[in-house]
Amino acid sequence: MMEKNCIFCKIIAGEIPSNTIYEDDLFRVILDASPASKGHALILPKQHYANIYEIDEEVAGKAFTLAKKLAAHMTEVLHCDGFNILQNNGEVAGQTVFHFHMHLIPRYKDGKNADILTWAHEEFTPEEIAAIRDSLKVDGTL
């Protein structure tokens, strides 16, 4: 379902041009307009889901399977030295386009953006860590 005013829905519908590198019945994969590195691409589900909370579980699984295949393909073509797969949810997490997408970011030893995806470490006491663990512990299977 297309969402009004969603730039990725418009790209999927062909209303806005994009550099598409792959398309099937469920996904379109485009080059990012402001790439972090050579070949930075985005996997877009054709159906509009705002984020990880909304996306259909089966589509999410297929998106990751596609990421695995494209990582291999892109690494072979681009000869990159590593690969990041990134997926932001919510403004505070860096999401700027509210249509679920996965970033495929080839990384190069001599790349300009050597420091993308690094963060300062936050400190927690052992008691805090135990409380976090206990609050997150899942009984049984999800």
Interface with ligand AMP (CB under 6 A), residue total 13
Site string for ligand AMP, 9-38 (x = CB under 6 A): -------x-x-----------x-xxx----
**Cα separation, 68 vs 46, whole angstroms:** 18
**Cα separation, 119 vs 122, whole angstroms:** 9
Q: 101 an active-site residue? A: yes
DSSP string spanning 20-55? EEEE-SSEEEEE-SS-SSTT-EEEEESS---STTTS
Contact flag: residue 52 with ligand AMP (CB under 6 A): no
Interface with Zn ion (CB under 5 A), residue total 6
Site string for Zn ion, 54-93 (x = CB under 5 A): ----------------------------------------
Contact flag: residue 5 with ligand AMP (CB under 6 A): no
* Tokens 């936050």 belong to residue: 122
Q: Least distance to ligand AMP from the beta carbon of 12, Å?
A: 11
Question: Binding Zn ion by CB under 5 A: which of 27, 42, 43, 48?
Answer: 48
Cα 42 to Cα 9, 50, 66, 132: the distances in Å are 13, 15, 11, 33
Q: Which of 12, 11, 88 is nearest to 50 (CA)?
A: 88
Neighbours of 67 (CB within 10 A): 20
Interface contacts to Zn ion, rule CB under 5 A = 3, 6, 8-9, 48, 99
Interface contacts to ligand AMP, rule CB under 6 A = 7, 16, 18, 30, 32-34, 42, 88, 94-97
The residues that are catalytic are 101
